[in-house]
Amino acid sequence: MSKFGGFRVARVSASDRRRQLVEAAFRVIGAEGFAAATTRRICAEAGAPVAAFHYCFASKEELFVELTEVTVSALRDAQADGVHIVGGLGPSLRETLRQWWATVEAAPEREVVLTGLTHHALHEPSLAGVAQRQYEAYHRTAAATLSSLADACGVTWSVPVAQLARMLVVVTDGVTIAWLVDRDSDAARTVLDAFAAQVATFASPS
């Protein structure tokens, strides 16, 4: 029996707690920025006592590593079935980018979290390699999208997919950051459409 008026203490498995804390950290960073992500703030958001933090994670950095992995793989899963075929390769690419963009505008926090995590990982020796793996995942996801797009439209890429994938990541990253700053949705869509048209020129019928 708990000491609190007969209510049972909520007992949560350590792995569930980890998930709760990771999700809470995501919400905090997304809404208030990386600097606000203190252990106490995260625990408060998760409704957990402070001591629960270090019962589940050896350190705050360990939480950040897991947060990065979870967020990146959520992004990849969402993109796995994010290919939209509309006529030829050009329109399909454009539509796929537009659909992805809709998810960004609908949930900008994810991008805020990801960019904050990247900046942080670049300077924290204990997180060395985390940012690299993060961007490798981006590139793999982009390459997969481009490949299935080409397959579905019956074309092949005339330049290495890895190169196109990097261009895709570069543009999506850049568009997102610019939009986070000035929220100019029209400009974002224009840039994305122009980019889709350019990349489409690198396809040749197979």
Partner DNA sequence: CCCGAACTTGGACAACTGTCCCAGACGCTT
Partner DNA sequence: AAGCGTCTGGGACAGTTGTCCAAGTTCGGG
Residue 181 binding DNA, by CB under 7 A: no
Interface region with DNA, contact rule CB under 7 A, candidates 40-48, 113-121, 162-170, 177-185: 40-48
Rounded to 5 degrees, φ, ψ at 88 are: -80, -170
Residue 177 binding its own copies, by CB under 8 A: yes
Output the smallest distance, CB 65 to DNA, in A.
Answer: 12
Residue 50 binding its own copies, by CB under 8 A: no
**8 A C-beta contact, residue 100 and residue 189:** no
DSSP annotation of 7 reads: P
Cα(118)–Cα(80) distance, integer angstroms = 22
Residues in contact with DNA, counted by CB under 7 A, come to a total of: 28
Interface region with DNA, contact rule CB under 7 A, candidates 36-44, 144-152, 153-161, 196-204: 36-44
Report the residue from 36, 80, 86, 152 that binds its own copies according to the rule CB under 8 A. 36
Return the exposure string of 168-183: e unless at least 16 CB atoms fall within 10 Å of the residue's CB, then b. Answer: bbebbbebbeebeeee
130 vs 150 by CB, closer to its own copies: 130
Cα(32)–Cα(113) distance, integer angstroms = 10
Site for its own copies, residues 117 to 136, rule: CB under 8 A = 118-120, 122-124, 131-132, 134-136
